[in-house]
Amino acid sequence: RRLRPILALDDFEPAARRKLPRPLFGYIAGAAETNSALNDNRAAFGEWAFRPRYMIDVSRRAIATELLGESWRAPFGIAPMGLSAMMAYRGDLVLARAAQEAGIPMVMSGSSLIRLEEVAKAAPGSWFQAYLPVDEARIAALIGRVALAGFRTLVITVDTTTMGNRENNIRTGFSTPLKPSLRLAWDGISHPRWLCDTMARTLLSHGMPHFENNFAERGAPIIARHVERDFGARDHLTWTHIARIRQQWSGRLIVKGILHGEDARRAAEAGVDGVIVSNHGGRQLDGAISALRALPEVRAAAGGMAVMMDGGVRRGADVLKALALGADFVFVGRPFLYAAALGGEAGVRHGIEILAQEVDRNLALLGSLSPAELGPQHLLRIAGVPA
Ligand code: FNR
């Protein structure tokens, strides 16, 4: 019922906005400083038009896609998003299970509130995204733990040298950990559906949520006055760390947050299997180039590595444009978290289904048989046209 009016991924946002307390919605929707990186992620797609071909037999088209030796049912997956379990009851599990059932990859965030072992068990096809801890010993411990849990694909996010400037979070009163306040209490009480569906259910069945994984060995409570933070101390990391992780990690290794051809080359030298071209949904460096714009250069420099992208993908048409510009695969963030907040697993499945159908329909309309066929010949640049 709640999902019936949702006809496109963008429909999840206003519905989730009504359900979620303001600081939580703002945390998902927000970006860094002026939002220019965020807005350009969408604008970049509007600068390309399709060149469809007709009277081609596309009746046997398929959207299934090979990536790093595995076959997925669609050329897209779910991007890692931290704190998902605050937005939806057991959020990471909701996203992971829905993805598993739909045959697409879900990347579990390293700043999750749910233990990585639980997600690996519930949805063994999930990938794990790590924010690297500060020192070598803790990096090694984290990698060991991720391997032991059964993850086969490790994503290292490299664009968080330090935390992006998200003024929006200060304005709405969002922080990690949350600071108890009257305003926060009122925000919760005035969103009773969220309070019952997510917060009360979580507290009753699992107690106070804790940061898990690499934030602190024991996990720090989500609501607290003082907490030891790792963020901000990550500004000394280099490609040497990635090369060292490569020696320790025998699964697939992916680096997320690449926007430069030269960095793709460095990643390849470090022995990485794939890169995710991304500006972190505009949440890190404001004014950073959008992933779609960076794609062709990264593709040219990537050699045999898999090239993935995220940022602003909202339609099947966006997926096809990214693939035509050199991506092997794309990821979608915010809409799936809104979907989880609004409708749990059924909401996320609905979102995946909408996007998969759009990809399939547009593939036919473009006159193409498979995502792997797409290339620059399918697009024309229409520079200067506002999105
Ligand atoms: C993120 N992103 C992110 N990336 C990452 O590597 N680790 C993380 O923990 C998070 N956390 C996170 C939380 C939330 C609420 C958002 C919206 C985003 C970035 C994410 O993986 C992805 O790069 C972008 O969200 C993609 O852009 P779209 O699809 O949201 O436009």
Render pLDDT for 282-341 as a digit per residue (tens, 0 to 9). Answer: 999 999 999 999 999 999 999 999 999 999 999 999 999 999 999 999 999 999 999 999
Model confidence pLDDT, tens digit, residues 209-260: 888 876 555 567 787 655 445 555 678 899 999 999 999 999 999 999 999 9
Question: Residue 260 in contact with residue 298, Cβ under 8 Å?
Answer: yes
The mean-pLDDT minimum among 136-150, 229-243, 268-282 falls in: 229-243
Model confidence at 1: pLDDT above 90: no
Specify the pLDDT at position 133: 86
Q: Are 117 and 128 in contact (CB under 8 A)?
A: no
H or E stretch including 220?
none
Identify the pLDDT of residue 218.
56
User: Residue-wise over 48-64: b if at least 16 C-beta within 10 A, else e?
Assistant: bebeeeeeeebeebebe
* pLDDT of 105 over the 90 cut: yes
Instruction: Spell out the alpha helix ranges (H) of 207-285.
Output: 239-248, 261-269
In this prediction, residue 30 has a pLDDT band, given cuts at 50, 70 and 90, of very high
Angle made by CA atoms 230, 148, 94, in degrees to the nearest 5: 70
* Atom of ligand 1 lying closest to residue 27 CA: 15
What rounded mean pLDDT belongs to the chain? Answer: 94
Q: Which atom of ligand 1 is nearest to the CA of 79?
A: 21
Nearest CA to ligand 1 atom 2: 81
Instruction: State residue 221's pLDDT score.
Output: 79
Q: pTM higher than 0.90, yes or no?
A: yes
Bridge partners, 178 (sequence order): 223
The separation between CA 158 and the C-alpha centre of its own chain, rounded to angstroms, equals 14
Q: What pLDDT shows up at residue 210?
A: 86
Question: Is 280 assigned a catalytic role?
Answer: yes
ipTM over 0.95: yes
Most confident of 30-39, 130-139, 171-180: 30-39
Q: Which residue has its alpha carbon closest to ligand 1 atom 12? A: 81
pLDDT at 385: 56
Pairing label, strands 306-310, 329-332? parallel
| Closest to 67 measured CA to CA, from 138, 153, 176, 171 | 153
Instruction: Give the residues surrounding ligand 1 with Cβ less than 6 Å away.
Output: 27-28, 41, 79-82, 109-111, 129, 157, 256, 278, 280-281, 283, 310-313, 332-334, 337
Query: Mapping DSSP to helix (H, G, I), strand (E, B) and coil, where does residue 302 land?
Result: coil
Testing ligand 1's pocket by substitution, the residue of 12, 20, 81 carrying the most ligand atoms inside 8 A of its CB is 81
What is residue 216's predicted lDDT score, i.e. its pLDDT? 54
Res 384: pLDDT: 64
Give the ligand 1 atom nearest the CA of 111.
9
The SS3 call for residue 290 is coil
Residue 211: the pLDDT is: 84
Res 383: pLDDT:
75
Query: What percent of the chain shows pLDDT beyond 70?
Result: 95
Residue 233's pLDDT is what? 65
What is the rounded average pLDDT of the residues 190-214?
A: 91
> For 150-280, where are the alpha helices, taking DSSP H only?
167-172, 182-189, 192-194, 201-206, 239-248, 261-269
Question: Residue 363 pLDDT more than 90?
Answer: yes
